[in-house]
Amino acid sequence: MLALLALAPALSRPAAAQERAITLASTTSTEQSGLFGHLLPIFRRETGIAVRVVAVGTGQALAIGAKGDADALLVHDRPGEDRFVAEGHGLDRRDVMANDFVIVGPAADPAGIAGGRDAAAAFARIARAQAPFASRGDDSGTHRTELRLWTKAGLEARGIGASYRELGQGMGPTLNAAAAMDAYTLTDRATWASFKNRQTLAILVQGDPALFNPYGSILVNPAKTPQIRAADARIWHEWLTSERGRAAIASFKVAGEQLFFPTGTMPSQ
């Protein structure tokens, strides 16, 4: 009887109080760079809310949100984000942070792109040299940016030939494949900074404004399904763009290098 009385307070607690959490559909870059490992414990300490991340390409994250299978999104393809909101799937899109993409490739650089600042021109040189190129091929924000760069270069990616490899993989596996093949690829700087298996790969092209990489937070429209945790998702959304959230983002570093910059703070390139 005494044991049951001791357990009574715990048994009477509402289940929701023990399971306060939201599902966030986000990108592999925010997960594989280590940003969420830094950010989410801070958020949970301050709010008591756990964030369960589904890390996929941006295209998949938007599709998950459109089905109502996430409470919020943190993604990086502005045209896709605007379309998601315009179609009624999301609410209150906000700029959160940015970094940039870089073109990496083998140090031998058979396409001769090293030191350039024009990403489309670099892509054109890679195609002319018929040098291997590893594409994520997964409809991620990185893949969508890559396809826009091929178009800007006046080329169709799949028309380049056998040297163009679509992998259907996240950024980490794509970098591993590029290292194994001595291939060029496009990567976000944050995942590159955390990537250890570089072999002969090095950053060859950076600094083009076309490589700017902004991230946006979107609330999934709670009209999609009653299961959406709209109130707690709103707390996450507001925190990300608050001074506390911005400070937490800015404090994430790898080997002393800041990898994500709250909106409006990224240094000019």
What would the pLDDT profile of 81-138 be if each residue is shown by its tens digit? 999 999 999 999 999 999 999 999 999 999 999 999 999 999 999 999 999 999 999 9
Local confidence band at 175 (pLDDT 50, 70, 90 cut-offs) = very high
- pTM given for the model: 0.86
pLDDT above 80: residue 15: no
Q: What is the pLDDT of residues 186-218, one digit of tens each?
A: 999 999 998 999 999 999 999 999 999 999 999
Tell me the backbone φ, ψ of residue 160, rounded to 5 degrees.
Answer: -70, -35
Q: What is the pLDDT of residues 38-85, one digit of tens each?
A: 999 999 999 999 999 999 999 999 999 999 999 999 999 999 999 999
Sketch out the chain's domains with CATH numbers: 21-98+214-262 (3.40.190.10), 100-211 (3.40.190.10)
Local confidence band at 158 (pLDDT 50, 70, 90 cut-offs) = confident
